[in-house]
């Protein structure tokens, strides 16, 4: 009887878990399986732990995550670093994503695997200050924030809902998408893009069934892309034709990329409105490189 009871409990747990995962897949969600093509075969050794990606001024911009230098790097389509910008006075506690608008670049220092941080911030640098020099130092404005709904700072490693690796800018506001280690959802928080110290609270939550590691909005503001992984398998969520900042209100497309299993996908950016680039760190299976997805293949 004990064996039968244990089996019943196990099957019930599995069934509930499957049902919970299905909640992410609204009846209008398109579900696809694709294999992205390699866009840049290998990045320089300096970028082996690259995290975050934008395309600006004909260069791709990234940095290394926790413990890396307080620098962003601009590299070309051949993977060669053409510019290094040091952010003066900044410390790379755990830089995780990068975003931009017409005038500024934003660097998110909000990685929080343990859930114990109280010093999350976003660095804001002026694009017009970026010169043609290969190396330069720039001042940055600091946008500091804490989670209003976080009451405990004693969670175990990789069990917090207050980790974050994804950042976008929209209509003079910044939006971060959390990486919930426990229930595999993401929560959206809005932060003003101006200097200050803010207490932020979630405005929306979505069951992504994985861990989100990067985000970007298309130049025409019609598409939001979230990249991440699920059981070491890279995944992509594409949200289209949403209203205002109700990102999950429009068309939803979920993409699995089984053929690049174990690629540690960390950064994502739009290349125009019709293509996506996804960057990954060095792993046991893949070089630190950049993949390309033609959005025509997932429409």
- pLDDT tens sequence across 284-296: 899 999 999 999 9
Q: Given pLDDT bands bounded at 50, 70 and 90, which one contains residue 25?
A: low
Exposure string for 26-59, b = 16+ CB within 10 A, e = fewer? eeeeeeeebebeebbeebeebbebbbbbbbeeeb
Question: Which residues have a Cβ under 8 Å from the Cβ of 35 and sit 6 or more positions away?
Answer: 257, 259, 260
pLDDT > 90 fraction of the chain, expressed in percent and rounded:
85
What is the C-alpha separation between 82 and 59, in angstroms, rounded? Answer: 8
Q: What is the pLDDT of residue 66?
A: 84
**Per-residue pLDDT at 298:** 86
Question: Domains of the chain: which residue ranges?
Answer: 28-298
CATH number of 28-298: 2.120.10.30
- What is the C-alpha to C-alpha distance for residues 23 and 85, in angstroms, rounded to an integer? 43
Neighbours of 67 (CB within 10 A): 11
pLDDT tier for residue 102 given thresholds of 50, 70 and 90: very high
pLDDT at 220 over 90: yes
pLDDT digits (tens, 9 = 90+) for 132-141: 999 999 999 9
Instruction: Provide the pLDDT for residue 265.
Output: 97
């Amino acid at each position: 009887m004990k064996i039968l009871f244990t089996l019943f409990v196990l099957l019930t747990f599995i069934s509930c878990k499957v049902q919970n995962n299905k909640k992410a897949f609204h009846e209008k969600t398109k579900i696809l399986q694709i294999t992205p093509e390699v866009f840049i075969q290998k990045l320089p050794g300096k970028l082996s732990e690259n995290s975050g990606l934008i395309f600006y001024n004909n260069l791709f911009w990234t940095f290394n995550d926790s413990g890396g230098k307080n620098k962003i790097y601009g590299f070309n389509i051949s993977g060669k670093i053409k510019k290094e910008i040091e952010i003066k006075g900044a410390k790379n506690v755990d830089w995780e994503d990068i975003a931009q608008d017409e005038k500024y670049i934003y660097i998110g220092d909000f990685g929080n695997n343990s859930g114990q941080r109280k010093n999350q911030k976003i660095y804001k640098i002026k694009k017009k200050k970026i010169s043609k020099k290969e190396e330069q130092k720039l001042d940055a404005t600091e946008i500091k924030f804490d989670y209003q709904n976080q009451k405990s700072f004693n969670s175990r490693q990789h069990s917090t809902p207050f980790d974050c690796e994804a950042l976008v800018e929209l209509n003079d506001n910044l939006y971060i998408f959390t990486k919930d280690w426990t229930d595999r959802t993401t929560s959206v928080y809005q932060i003003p893009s101006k200097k200050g110290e803010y207490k932020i609270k979630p405005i929306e939550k979505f069951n992504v069934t994985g861990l989100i590691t990067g985000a970007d909005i298309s130049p025409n503001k019609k598409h939001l892309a979230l990249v991440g992984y699920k059981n070491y398998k890279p995944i992509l969520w594409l949200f289209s034709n949403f209203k205002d900042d109700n990102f999950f209100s429009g068309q939803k497309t979920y993409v699995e990329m089984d053929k690049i299993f174990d690629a540690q996908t960390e950064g994502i950016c739009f290349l125009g409105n019709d293509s996506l680039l996804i960057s990954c760190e060095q792993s046991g299976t893949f070089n630190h490189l950049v993949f390309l997805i033609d959005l025509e293949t997932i429409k």
